Chain A
């Protein structure tokens, strides 16, 4: 049987979506979102890989070698931008970093906040360096960055409850804040594009698990569209990932013009296939809990369910719905690609 590289499989998904071509490949392109869970492969802590770009590269390369995903998603943390903008963070030894002080606890400080420079401020240059290095080492599969979208940055700067209340009671302020964070997302995205890595934006807290569809449409969508349009002018496609339940806003996500849409397990893959077909590559949405469970059969059924919901010509990439838990045992993460090879064949 002919063997394909991750790059060929992923490229096929894009061609199926955006052209009349239907390139033959052996199986559905697939990858688990692995970041923090790769620390254990190199005997490092999560804190170490988030603070040392060299170790982050080592962990991601180890993840690629161990699991052989078709895309290497460079999942770091989503507080890199807010840290560079003035948030104080704490880095637990084996957990994701958390904000201990938000830069806009006092909302009035927005007027004095300055955009961070991705090539100089905080850990942003380290992330760029890690992308560059990983791209040099891994050439068979796309090395894909993922950074915070404008709503995620705004939540980091203000706090989730505070920002949601602001959006309901002081929309003009939130608009101003999102103008600022959109510029920040574009700036980081441009720095990534400079090293030939088109950005994907994670908007974990933009789902209907946290906000209303109406809030997505009126408050966030125009900013997403602006980012996509900005990069379209430069002939670069960007991705959009939203965690949690996103069924009511699937069409809106597609209408941003993002060239790939990534959804989480609570969203309906069949509905998403309908919404994205011919307009965006769809990515998702195996439940990340399955990477912790002992039930290999359940993971197999979940993968089968995804492949059944997304027809071969739909330009679909099978992935975990969100980041694989940092505590997931490597042998269970390995099941994922093993099972994809078994039940994801075309």
Chain B
């Protein structure tokens, strides 16, 4: 069992490795954390998740751009992959904060934004069901029903593909009026969200989770009324 001081040192190294998108460093310090008895939860939350918050800030300040986010994402998942079995073995898996079905709509293969959003939800402790790209309408309906997810996130980069969104939204709400729909992608704005009957949208990966949390809180309030 690592001392408090050593634990803090390991977590700091882990955060710094992730922020400088050093995948090997993240793997090395995650293994060190496990070997030296650092709580895997702390490694995930105070190490990786905290570092991702800082990465998000660097992105917002335009110090980091999508390439850096992609490599941070690779490093993050390399660390999480090592931590997950340890978290499971500890028997202390926390309840997920929420669940979301994500996908890029049919006719569109631009999935970098969706993948970055997925990473932010993963790190925030959500359960993510990722349908990938070029996803037919029916798949969103099936997956939402199968998983009973709170939120469905639809992404599109091309205007010609985003026009399928209103139909997906209508069908999702017909089958499950409580589901909340978030939209994402360069052409999306508040006017479209309202026109299409969705509930919210994220302008970037950084605010997607906050927006989802707001939708979830609204949903919970409505349920308790």
Contacts and interface: CB of A to CB of B under 8 A. Distances in A.
Interface of A: 36, 46, 92, 94-96, 98-99, 160-161, 164-165, 167-169, 208-213, 215, 244, 248, 288-289, 292-293, 325-328
A327 B156 CA distance: 14
B115 interface: yes
Nearest to B68: A212
Contacts of A165: 67, 70-71, 74
B134 interface: yes
Given A96-B158, A212-B64, A293-B191, 9 more contacts: A96-B160, A161-B111, A165-B67, A165-B70, A208-B65, A209-B66, A211-B65, A212-B67, A289-B191
Contact of A95 (B70, B107, B189): B107
15 contacts: A92-B107, A92-B160, A95-B107, A96-B158, A98-B108, A161-B111, A168-B70, A210-B65, A212-B65, A215-B67, A248-B62, A289-B189, A293-B191, A327-B159, A327-B163
B25 to A, nearest CB: 14
Interface of B: 62, 64-68, 70-71, 74, 107-112, 115, 134, 158-161, 163, 186-187, 189, 191
Nearest to B187: A289
B112 A95 contact: no
B114 to A, nearest CB: 11
Contacts of B107: 92, 95, 98
A326 B161 CA distance: 10
Contacts of B109: 98-99
A161 B118 CA distance: 15
Contacts of A288: 159, 187
Contacts of A167: 67
B1 to A, nearest CB: 36
Contacts of A289: 187, 189, 191
A161 B191 contact: no
A327 B160 contact: yes
A164 B160 contact: no
B112 A326 contact: no
Contacts of A160: 110, 112
Nearest to A292: B159
